[in-house]
Structure 1
Amino acid sequence: MNERRRISDFRGIDTRRGVPDWEVEEEFGADVFTFVRIRFTSWRESFNRRGRGRGGRSAWGRSYIGHFGWDTDYPDSDLNFSFRLQQLTSMEVDPDGLVLDLTDPRLFDYPFIYLLEPGDLVFSEDEVVALRKYLLNGGFLMVDDFWGEAEWANFYKEIKRVFPEPEFEPEELDISHEIFQAVFVLKEKPQICSINEALSGRSTGRTWEREDAREVHFKAMYDDKERMMMIICHNTDLGDGWEREGENEWYFHEFSEKKAYPMGINIVFYAMTH
């Protein structure tokens, strides 16, 4: 790894209060990369909208208080990842990022979008139409942070509403695929768990968050021109590795530095060059 690609500083980052800011030169204009997080409706949000309060348990047993899935790790992970992306690559990166609905007409101005915790995801009909149009017109979606078979089943059900045709199916990526070597060479598929799970499993090497999530999966969906339009990161949580990098030095070195940032940067670089 050359000096440009070395993640060497544990700086205690948490939010913009700790993340360095930077200026984007005007001459780069439309070439600036913006990390776009997708806001969506979840089972838990629908539950709360029916007047049952803020807080409880999701359909799959996850506890939640005052957030709706799409905003998990926000804004810390987005700010930290954007900083590392501009620090470790030659890309010009927007320091602030953006949150958009799938139905926002500005979506098509951004070639890369990020969606997490789809285990509770419920697309509206308008979102189904918008996401299909976005992906088939050159957009790229990264899906992150969901665990186990029940959450996979919910995501698969929703994504098949977007692409019901049999030719559109998630395909497991082999570790030899270019996406695992685009900038950083990864020798195994990275499984990143929450900081609490990591610390509790430190002595045993456990990195999965539930028993039916031991095996990490990176799957892709391709358009009719064989372009990868989506990567699905299942039984792993890259966003936690970005968000929590400043809370524990061991976690930073073992999960943020070695796994979460390299894989995230590889995904963005691959998406933007293919």
Structure 2
Amino acid sequence: MNKNLSILLVFLFAIFSAYSQQVKIAKLKYSGGGDWYANKTALPNLINFCEKELNLPLSNKDYVVEVGSKEIYQYPYIYMTGHGNVVFSDDEAQNLRNYLISGGFLHIDDNYGLDQFIRLEMKKVFPASDFVEIPYDHPIYHQKFKFKDGLPKIHEHDGKPAQGLGIIYEGRVVCFYSYESDLGNGWEDQSIHKDPEAVRLKALKMGANIISFAFTQD
């Protein structure tokens, strides 16, 4: 059997199994010293929000998957965050590429300081592709919740405008990169960053849109 076809079949089986029970999403563990484990309450809060607002059967277990692991195919959506250095080995980059072109989805969420590293590492994954800005009329901003001005700004940091960037492979968004927004901080418990409830709600709604889009795009 063709290797790519075999990978795709494994991935589709994982998605089918997940939807027949609960969909599992995971945080990506990577090397290089960056704090991949940041925002510990973010994903659990987003999962709870999506279960209520989107009626998605998401598992609320806090899953972690390594870049180079074959277990990555168990998760149709992978979340990546951190402040610092990121390093993908050649094998890890190839594994992540195979996952993404086989139907997987990666959401990279810059937690301030990730940008200079992740751009270099994603070039290992897709050498012929660059991040492109996702236009405001794109479906990712118009799922259940409408963001007519694109990605919301959650934390100020350098004061730059928030940008929703993507890597597109054969017409499909395989990676969405929320830059200068810090959605994950907005998903965390209110007691951690003390964001106003309206700001947290914007972050959660945008996160729900990303997950909804990842599971439904053509």
Query: Shorter-chain-normalised TM-score: which range?
Result: 0.7 to 0.9
Distance in 1 separating the partners of 2:125 and 2:193: 39
One of 39, 62, 74 as aligned partner of 1:73 = 39
Using structure 2 for the length normalisation, give the TM-score: 0.84
Letter of the structure 2 residue corresponding to residue 253 of structure 1: E
- Establish whether residue 254 from structure 1 lines up as the match of residue 188 from structure 2: no
State the partner residue of 1:13.
none
State the partner residue of 2:97.
132
**Cα offset for 1:153?**
3.0
| Contact 2:101-2:169 within 8 A present in 1 as well | yes
- Establish whether residue 237 from structure 1 lines up as the match of residue 190 from structure 2: no
**Cα offset for 1:252?**
4.0
- Establish whether residue 215 from structure 1 lines up as the match of residue 161 from structure 2: yes
The answer for unaligned runs of 5 or more in structure 2 is 1-15
| Contact 1:181-1:266 within 8 A present in 2 as well | yes
| Contact 1:73-1:239 within 8 A present in 2 as well | yes
Task: Give the match's secondary structure for 2:39.
Answer: coil
**Cα offset for 1:119?**
4.5
One of 174, 188, 204 as aligned partner of 2:135 = 174
| Contact 2:45-2:189 within 8 A present in 1 as well | no
Using structure 1 for the length normalisation, give the TM-score: 0.68
**Cα offset for 1:125?**
2.0
Identity %: 27
- Say how many residue pairs are matched: 199
One of 30, 46, 65 as aligned partner of 2:18 = 30
State the partner residue of 2:4.
none
The answer for unaligned runs of 5 or more in structure 1 is 1-27, 46-67, 194-207
Map 1:36-185 → 2, pairs under 5 A: 36-42=26-32, 45=33, 68-74=34-40, 76-117=41-82, 119-147=84-112, 151-165=114-128, 168-185=129-146
| Contact 1:246-1:252 within 8 A present in 2 as well | no
Bigger Rg, which one: 1
State the partner residue of 1:9.
none
| Contact 1:118-1:155 within 8 A present in 2 as well | no
Distance in 2 separating the partners of 1:146 and 1:218: 14
Displaced runs of 4+ in structure 1, greater than 2 A?
145-148, 151-154, 244-249
Distance in 1 separating the partners of 2:83 and 2:177: 10
Letter of the structure 1 residue corresponding to residue 199 of structure 2: F
| Contact 1:39-1:70 within 8 A present in 2 as well | yes
